[in-house]
Each structure stands twice: as C-alpha cells, then as structure tokens.
Structure 1
Amino acid sequence: MRVAILGSGNGGTAAAFEWAQAGHEVSLWDFEEFGENIAAIAASGHIEGRVKFEGTAPVRYAGHDLARAVDGADLVLVVGPAYAHEALGEALRGHLSTEAAYCMLPSGCNGAVVLKKALGLDLLDDTYVIGETGTLPYGCRLVEPGVVRVTTRVLDGLFVAALPSTRTDELLAKLQVVWPQAEAAANVLQTTLQNGNPVLHPAIMLLNAARIENTGGDFLFYTEGVTPATARLMQAIDDERIALGEAIGVRIVPDPELGVRQGYLSEATWLKGYNQGIGFAKSQAPKTLDFRYLTEDVPHGLVFISELARQFGVPTPAVDAVIQLASIVLDTDFRAQGRRLPADPGFADLTPDQVRAL
C-alpha cells in the first residue's frame, strides 16, 4: 500500500518506520515549523529504529508538500496531539480521496469528530472512510532527528472505529495489514473514552507537583510517582469513565486490564501494575507542570468526559476535582477551553437514548 503519515513527532515517526519496514511506500509530512525531524529523514532517505524496532526503513518522501505526500495514498494516518487535530484537518481540506482511508491516531478524545468538522464535512457523511484509534500502538520517543526508540508495541486491544461506524470494517481491514492487533469498537465514543491518558497522566502530575517543581522532573514518572494515593485517584477517575461508558452503552476496559493486554503492565493492578509496569519502567517525569500531561489531557480528555457525563447524568466528582486543581495549579481555565461534542448538529440537545442511536 501507499501510506501517508501526517505528523512527524514520536508516534508519527514510529508508524512511518513500521509501515515502511513492512514493505509499504511511506510518505511523512508535517508543517514547516516542525522541520528538524523531516529534514533529517529527507536527507538520509530512511528512519532508524531502536529497541523494539531495529535497523532502518526507507521513506518515499519526507517534506512539507502535503499534495505530494498524500498523492495516491491508500491509507492516511493523522498522528498528533489533541491540540493539533483541528489544524491537521484544516490542512487536509481539499486533499481527500474516496480511495483512501483516514485514521486519527490516537483519538485524544473526540478526534474523528474534530477532524471531520475541520474538513468541513457533516459528521454522518460517509463519502470518505474517516475514523480513529483509542491509543497509539507504541510507547516511543524520538532519540534524535530521524531516530525513534520504541520501548513498547501494543500487542492487543488497539480499538478502531469509523465515523459513521458503518465504515469501520473498511478502515479496520487496512490497518490490520500491519496492525493485526487492531479490533473494531462499537463506535467513536468507545474509542474516545478508551484513551487512558486522561486517567493516568493528570493524577500523577498533580500528586507529584511539588516534586516536579523542586527537582525539574528528576524522577521516574510511574516507578516513583505512582504511590498508593496516586493509585486510588487514578482508579477513581477510571471508575467514573467506565460508568459513563455503561450509560452510553459501550464497555470501557479498565485501564490496568487493558495495560496487560497491550503489554505495558505485567499485572492488572493500580499500584504495582504501574510503578512496576514493564512498559513504563524508564519513563522520566516531565521537567515542568506546563506539559501535555496536563495541558492536553485535562482540557481535551477530562473536560470531554465531564461534559459528556453531565449530559448523561453520570456523576464525576474525581474528574471534576482534577480539572479544578489543574486549572488552579496552571492558572488556566481548562474547562472553558475544553473539548466537547459539537453544538452542530445539536448534540447538546440530544437525550442519552438519541446519542446512543446516533
């Protein structure tokens, strides 16, 4: 297949390596302001992989010409943080093809909805195959430009849904060419809520706030940052997320259970599962509180969960407390800037039964 990957960060570079090494023609694109990694790959003609990925993988094109990157693509992976989804969608306008499938990787909460709105499409328009995954398939970091280290590759539980879900099977078939661990979710609300980052990151950040500020993040985020108190807060958030899924009519897998399936955890527990997790053992803490574990996961994850739960009549005291604390700590009104289901086509006015039916 010909595969275009939009976004040259950690996840995008890892995906480009794996699809290229599997024998597919890969293009990697990004905005000009994110040019360092792109330039290194363009100069060498390949990506170097380390740890779980080894060797080099050739890249057909790496650059800032989007038309060239997506030309003839069978699959387009849109890989970036939640706050980049709208910009990526706007850039992609005018470049869609009915021959390609488009996947937001990962959802980051509501990603496929944001993408379709940015593309100027009605959410139920099924002209194009557009969807999302619940998570990245990797734990990965760029070591240097053109070199990606993948410490964990998701073994199971990579949930996928298209919007509308009638086209999920088409998207899934293309993703399973390289990711056989991908499986169909009921719909994009399931993939969105299954994203575990908002459950884990903000709780650990806030309960280690003084340590982060005093040491500049000089500790292991999960190994040392997850204590009994942190574990209880993460579990309380997860319980509320699971209750919201039940109200919507989808099963959300508890994060420790999913972590074992995916290969991050050796046991499905909240304390030892994370502070002794095989996939998290060397994860360094952020140097500052002004980091995407709060600035992305609170407004684009927890606020989305809270607002949707309010519509469904599901109480979320733990989620709401973390949103409020994060807003105070970073002097930012995260609820005001948070992600919600769009007012158009009137999601806010729908009853729970109508949302489920839609």
Structure 2
Amino acid sequence: MRRHVITILGAGNSGLAHTAYFKHLGHEVRLFDFFQETVDRINQNGYIELTGYITDNIAFEAATTSMKDAVTGSEVIIVINPSQYHRKLAAELAKYLSPNQIIFINPGSTFGALAFKQALVDNGFTADVPIAESNTSVFPCRLIAPTKVYIGAKKDRILFSVFPSQGNLEKVSELVSSFLPEIQPVKNVLATSIDNTNPHVHVAPMILNCSWIESGQQFSFMHEAIGPTVEKIIAKMDAERLEIGKKLGLTLGKDLFSLQMQYEEEYNVTGKTTLREIFRGVDAYRQIYSPHSFEHRYITEDVPMGLTPLVDMGRQIGVPVPKSQMILNICEEVLEKNFTEGSGCRNMDNIGLKGLSAEEIVKYAETGSIN
C-alpha cells in the first residue's frame, strides 16, 4: 500500500474519526481546525480514541490552525466539516491551494463540489482543480468526548464523483479508492448530490416532533422519531428527489437510488418493506440519540444547505416538489428563520447554476463549462 499525505479540514466527530482511521492505515495525516483550543486539546492528549465499530487509541499530534502548514505538500485535501462552513474554509484554502492537489468534500451535502468551486472563485482561486464529493460519510459517528469518537458502523459503499467529471473521474477515483475502497464512482457530482438524503431522514422527523425534541428526553432518533405519518412524508419527499434526479439524466438503480436501495447498499439492510423497518434495521442507529435543540446540524445544515437547494433545483428545472417545499416552509415558519436567501444557504444563484436548464446543468457538471 502506498503511503499518502492527507489533509483533513475539520476536527469534529467525523474529522477525528477519519483522521484516526487513515493514520491507523499508515498514512501521513494533517488535521486543520480554526479553533486553537480544539487543536491544543488534540495535540496535548496525544491520541484519538475510537470506540464502537473500531476500538483503538491512535497516536496523533499533528493538528494545526495553520492552513498553510496543513495543506502544503498534501496530495488530497478532505473537507469534513458542516457544509455551512465550507465557504469560510474555501476562503482560507484559496490562499495556499495548488492546482496539482485534489479537494474531496466528504460529504458534499447537496451540490457541495459546485458550491466549493464557486467559493474558491469568489476568493480569487480560478485555476482548475478537481473537486470530488461523496454522498455521505463512510462512518456514522458521534463525538462523546473532546478526543473520543463513537463509530456506529462502516458503510459498505458511498457514492463518489468529481467536478468536472470529464478527464478527472477515473484518475481521482483510483487515488481515493487506494485509501477509501468503499467509494463507488458515479458519472458526475449531480448523482452524489441528489443521493444526499439527510434533508429527508433528518429534517422531517425533527420539525414534526417539535415537542419531543424539546422535551429533553433521550431517545434513539432514527428508531423512534419516525412513526407511520412521518414515514409517509419522508417517502413522498424521496419520490420528489428521485424525479429531480431523473430530470438531470440519472438512472434509477445505476446512479440514482431510492432510500430503500441506499440502505440495502450501505448498511446491507434487506428484507424490509417499510422505511420504518429499514431505519430500525440499522443497529448503528441505536445509540445515535435525538438532539434536544433545533440548533443542531439536522436543521442548521440539512435545511439551508440540503433541502433549500434541492427545492430550488426542482423549481428551476420544472419538477414539482410540494412535500419538500411544505417541510421547508414549516421550518421557516416554526423556527422563524430564513433558510432560503443569503450566503447562509445554498441556492441556484450562489452555486453558479441560476437560469440553467437541466441539460446545461448536466453539461456544467461534466465539463465545467456550459459553452
């Protein structure tokens, strides 16, 4: 196995999990975070503790707040950070990025690679650089102490693509698969973005269980927050997501997957007939407990950075999304927040797709140009 130099941007739960995992595999790993306190705590501790699916203490003292030190000489720069912070990371990365490097948004949320490209351009970096993204993280995990991460499982596959895909997909996939073999390449980043179902499995159960969320009770979110009525809403939202994918040239079962298909592939959950049964069939979810506040990524990230761009995409390319729009409207009304305008969200305007037809969007994802 060739030893790679990997930079990870973001020292949260998933960032720490991937840092320790890649270090365990023998790679050189640098870890960047904006917060000095976070970096100091990791370096002073001297190791990252993994529990659950992987139980080990991984020696690690290479965290830094210097983007220059973190990325200089690195082959792959992996962004593992809530997507609402991607613009801030891109602004700092633009100062030190080299065209021969690869950026990997893991996961991209919805249209993450396209949004990151636009953010780099907005901050003066206009050179061509491959920007990969995945549909999800390989590890469902939670931070249970400052340097201790619980990993519920390791998924069997995650979707992976590159912007632009032409001339990049094969070589970038070959490199990334050498340290993350679970990736399954698909033809463009529209496939990975449309396959992000966090806005469906997180947002509807959150906003439709307001009182329970705010009660302070501890309960298994995916196992208990989704009753028959919420399940129906999620299924209808999922159908709308699939129609958007089809309009963007994706094929069901090949590079477009229903929720049921996803869970069969990623968690090997088979023989289940309803979404509730599927979610409850994932043992890794058992200890993933509900948030106690709406100031949580299931809302603060998955609405403005996931649900909003999906709804806006449907509107622009002529795909009706009434149930997704309804949940978005409820979130804005109940929480009294604007999730659809400004730099705090993703929409067709600020990711560079405003006014484009479905065919033009596909061409842009594959070539990097609509001309």
Q: TM-score under structure 1 normalisation? A: 0.92
Structure with more contact order per residue of length (Cα contacts < 8 Å, sep ≥ 6)? 2
Q: Distance in 2 between matches of 1:160 and 1:126?
A: 22
1:339 is paired with a residue of what secondary structure?
A: coil
Q: How does 1:156-305 map to 2 (within 5 A)?
A: 156=157, 158-166=158-166, 167-213=168-214, 215-251=215-251, 252-263=256-267, 265=269, 267-268=271-272, 269-305=274-310
In the alignment, what sits opposite 1:153? 154
Q: Identity percentage over the alignment?
A: 26
Q: How does 1:66-145 map to 2 (within 5 A)?
A: 66-120=67-121, 127-145=128-146
Q: Distance in 1 between matches of 2:279 and 2:245?
A: 23
In the alignment, what sits opposite 1:329? 334
Q: Which moved more, 1:216-225 or 1:193-202?
A: 216-225
Instruction: State the 1:255 CA deviation.
Output: 1.5
Which amino acid in 2 is paired with 1:352? Answer: A
Q: 1:60 to 1:162 in 2, by over 3 A?
A: farther
Instruction: Give unpaired runs (5+ residues) of structure 2.
Output: 365-371
Q: 1:208 to 1:257 in 2, by over 3 A?
A: same
Q: Which moved more, 1:55-64 or 1:314-323?
A: 55-64
1:160 is paired with a residue of what secondary structure?
A: strand
Which amino acid in 2 is paired with 1:27? Answer: R
Instruction: State the 1:129 CA deviation.
Output: 2.1
Residue-by-residue CA offset, 1:37-60 (whole Å, 9 max, x unaligned): x22321233322111122122336
Contact 1:225 1:275 in 2 (8 A): no
Q: 1:224 to 1:343 in 2, by over 3 A?
A: closer
Contact 2:309 2:346 in 1 (8 A): yes
Residue 346 of structure 2, aligned match among 319, 339, 354: 339
Q: Distance in 1 between matches of 2:66 and 2:145?
A: 23
Contact 1:212 1:285 in 2 (8 A): yes
Instruction: Give unpaired runs (5+ residues) of structure 1.
Output: none
2:328 is paired with a residue of what secondary structure?
A: helix
Give the total of aligned pairs: 353
Instruction: State the 1:174 CA deviation.
Output: 2.0
Q: Distance in 1 between matches of 2:323 and 2:55?
A: 42
Q: How does 1:17-96 map to 2 (within 5 A)?
A: 17-32=20-35, 35-36=37-38, 38-59=39-60, 61-96=62-97
Q: 1:343 to 1:328 in 2, by over 3 A?
A: closer
Residue-by-residue CA offset, 1:202-225 (whole Å, 9 max, x unaligned): 111122112122x22432212211
Q: Say yes or no: does 1:14 pair with 2:17.
A: yes
Q: 1:344 to 1:304 in 2, by over 3 A?
A: closer
Which amino acid in 1 is paired with 2:84? Answer: Y
Contact 2:161 2:169 in 1 (8 A): yes
Q: Distance in 2 between matches of 1:228 and 1:234?
A: 10
Contact 2:138 2:182 in 1 (8 A): no
Residue-by-residue CA offset, 1:224-268 (whole Å, 9 max, x unaligned): 111111111111111000010001111320122212211174555
Q: Distance in 2 between matches of 1:98 and 1:299?
A: 30
Q: Compute the RMSD of aligned alpha carbons.
A: 2.1
Instruction: State the 1:32 CA deviation.
Output: 2.2
Contact 1:142 1:148 in 2 (8 A): yes
